[in-house]
Amino acid sequence: MERPTISVLINNYNYGCFLPRAIDSALRQKASDAEIIVIDDGSSDQSRSVLEGYEKRVKVLFQENQGQAAAINAAVKASSGDILCFLDADDWWAPGKLSATAAAFQSNPHASLVYHRLQPTQTDGSIAFKPIPRTLCSGDLSLRLARSAGWWPFPLTSAIAVRRSAWKAAGDIPEQFHISADAWLTGIYPFLGDVVALSDSLGFYRIHNNNWYRPVDDAAMLRKRLAHWRTVVDATNQFLSAHGLDGRLRLTDHFPYRVASARLEGADARTRFRLAAEGLFFAGEPNLLRRMREALRTARDLPRRGQAVSLSESAR
């Protein structure tokens, strides 16, 4: 695969105000063998008029609102590239993202997924904080995920690229992932091949009121995260069973799940100590210093039993 064909797949729902920057960042890439497909998932804002201005340069698809998973699945079906690169319409890429991704796949023939860091920004594009994820993981991650209930310092959608052969092996993203479809990509593909992490920040993640990231979590968001993690674990176990792969995930191994539950319920001294100890040995975070810091923060910041949670401490 000397010059791999790349498919850029941009999913959009009511992000017409952000969409031009995302599309322009893909058009400005130096990879001459890339196709760009934008799928609009039933937007009711100005997205259609924005996309009409790009129809001569990119392939545009429209569908009724069905959620992110259905949108990405439809875009993949309409694509032809050997490498699938995903971009959320509210994010954008740095120059050189596609060429670096293609080179990583060429150098790592067993890789199913290649990712890089993203630079978080405020809505206006100004820098928010350090690039994410802080810890990078490469190689065969299947054993790590089996011991952490699938949690690792995973990348977000706009940083992810997968090999089409791995997509065919995994199948479409289940449509219950109507948001956070990246949880399927980062949860399943490490069981299908190696993962390659690029240390550079090759994209920008825009923080605003409508995305999954929160600097703080209130009780409602904690409940959403718990439900989401249960869905991910169930879907992963169904996949592993259906494909005859060893190992099953257990929520008892999912440290962020257990901490979120304790934040909702409150914790006594014994619970704090137990969770701090579990955090020190949590398989999902390879970096010892970060494990220690999170374990100590957990022991310090959990609310007492019976204490109502309105706004929790900083989210993971």
Whole-prediction pTM: 0.90
Whether the pLDDT of residue 312 is over 50: the answer is no
Residue 280 placed within a domain: yes
CA distance 237 to 188: 10
Structural domains counted in the chain: 2
Sign (positive/negative) of CA torsion 234, 235, 236, 241?
Answer: positive
> What is the span of the domain harbouring residue 93?
6-206
| 244-to-155, 237, 247, 264 alpha-carbon distances in Å | 26, 10, 10, 36
Q: With left for phi above 0 and alpha for psi between -120 and 50, is residue 96 left, alpha or beta?
A: left
Residue 311 placed within a domain: no
| Residue 144 shares a structural domain with residue 199 | yes
Residue 316 placed within a domain: no
State which of 206, 230, 262 marks the end of a domain. Answer: 206
Residue-wise pLDDT for 58-116, tens only, equals 999 999 999 999 999 999 999 999 999 999 999 999 999 999 999 999 999 999 999 99
- pLDDT at residue 1, rounded to an integer: 40
More confident residue, 303 or 18: 18
| Cα dihedral 313→294→211→234 (10° resolution) | -110
Start-end of H helices in the chain: 19-27, 47-52, 68-77, 97-107, 142-147, 164-170, 182-188, 219-242, 255-265, 269-280, 288-301
Query: 40 - beta bridge partners?
Result: 12, 62
| Residue 134 shares a structural domain with residue 106 | yes
| Residue 184 shares a structural domain with residue 239 | no
Judge whether 147 and 231 are in contact, CB under 8 Å. Answer: no
Residue-wise pLDDT for 139-156, tens only, equals 999 999 999 999 999 999
Residue 306 placed within a domain: no
CA distance 60 to 35: 11
| Residue 275 shares a structural domain with residue 143 | no
Which residues, including other chains, have CB under 8 Å from residue 268's CB and lie 6 or more apart? 304, 305
